[in-house]
Amino acid sequence: MSLLKFSARRVVSRLGGELKFPASKRLKICIGMARPSSNMADFREAFAKAKHVAIITGAGVSAESGVPTFRGAGGYWRKWQAQDLATPLAFAKNASRVWEFYHYRREVMLSKHPNPAHLAISECEARLGKQGRRVVVITQNIDELHRKAGTKNLLEIHGSLFKTRCTSCGNVAENYKSPICPALAGKGAPEPEIQDARIPIENLPRCEEKGCSGLLRPHVVWFGENLDPDLLEEVDRELALCDLCLVVGTSSVVYPAAMFAPQVSARGVPVAEFNMETTPATDRFRFHFQGPCGATLPVALARHETETVS
């Protein structure tokens, strides 16, 4: 079993969900590490040689498309932050409120579009694929903007806003209905002064599998829940094979994804971070490019002069 696989399984099985590096971990990451390079020409040389590129993306990519992150100051829906609503306990206590929150997020996402960073990744995947090279995207985002952009090799480790899971039979299904059920029409406004009148549970989204009609929940990983072990196996295989890794728009503090790129770097593979600011893991990487991903990625992933034209 690889180190990555062992570590990811241990963290997820013990702690689950989304967790952050302790301060002591952040300190250790920075000690004894050389500052990463911001030389785009050097990165482009590594990119030209790469046969298997892994791209790890986080909320920063989607933020440039106007997607609310619900993190940090101001990241509230009504008077709650995501960690108040995105839990099994919150759903058990008030499924109506949780569904209003996710209905709002679904409706917002239906109006959003991929930005130049999403499109650069998708174009790169298609182009390199014709050259016998592989690009895989491992995303923490649940908004499906990578799919909208055309990315094919996509591992959505936190699930999707547009999938549901039945709490009775466990069936997972795509669902792009707007609204997802009649009772949620016109619901979900984020203004803090709104008092949420509870929707009867029987009127919330229900399973359409024959003979079921169980209560549906969003098919996303909530705080305190484990990531899909089969999906983690796929992530592990991709990262074990990659010879170049990009970390795009992620804070590098959320487990288990925070471990992915540092462990790739530890085996000598070039890792390039693209972000608006440095992160606790920056000094473990070979490259760091600061600024909007929509500006830096199209340059980084453009056709290299040594690429064969097909």
The letter for the amino acid at 121 is I
Domain boundaries, given as residue ranges, for the chain? 38-67+113-158+227-304, 68-111+159-220
Q: What is the pLDDT of residue 29?
A: 38
Residue 266, annotated as binding a ligand: no
Residue 13, annotated as binding a ligand: no
Q: What is the pLDDT of residue 192?
A: 84
Top-confidence residue, 11 or 213: 213
Q: What is the mean pLDDT of residues 185-211?
A: 93
Q: What is the pLDDT of residue 68?
A: 83
CATH architecture, domain 68-111+159-220? 2-Layer Sandwich (3.30)
How do residues 71-100 score in pLDDT, each as one tens digit? Answer: 655 678 999 988 899 999 999 999 999 999
- Determine which of 26-35, 193-202, 251-260 has the lowest per-residue pLDDT on average: 26-35
Whether the per-residue pLDDT at 310 is higher than 60: the answer is no
Residue 209, annotated as binding a ligand: no
Whether the per-residue pLDDT at 37 is higher than 60: the answer is yes
Identify whether 118 is a catalytic site residue.
Answer: no
Q: Are 19 and 255 in contact (CB under 8 A)?
A: yes
How do residues 242-259 score in pLDDT, each as one tens digit? Answer: 999 999 999 888 888 889
Rounded to whole angstroms, the Cα distance separating 157 from 231 reads: 7
Q: What is the mean pLDDT of residues 283-304?
A: 97
Q: What is the mean pLDDT of residues 184-207?
A: 93
Q: Which CATH class is domain 38-67+113-158+227-304?
A: alpha beta
Residue 57, annotated as binding a ligand: no
Taking alpha carbons only, the member of 38, 44, 118 closest to residue 291 is 38
Residue 242, annotated as binding a ligand: no
Catalytic residue among 158, 219, 288, 304: 158
Residue 155 CB-density burial (10 A; 0-12 exposed, 13-18 middle, 19+ buried): middle
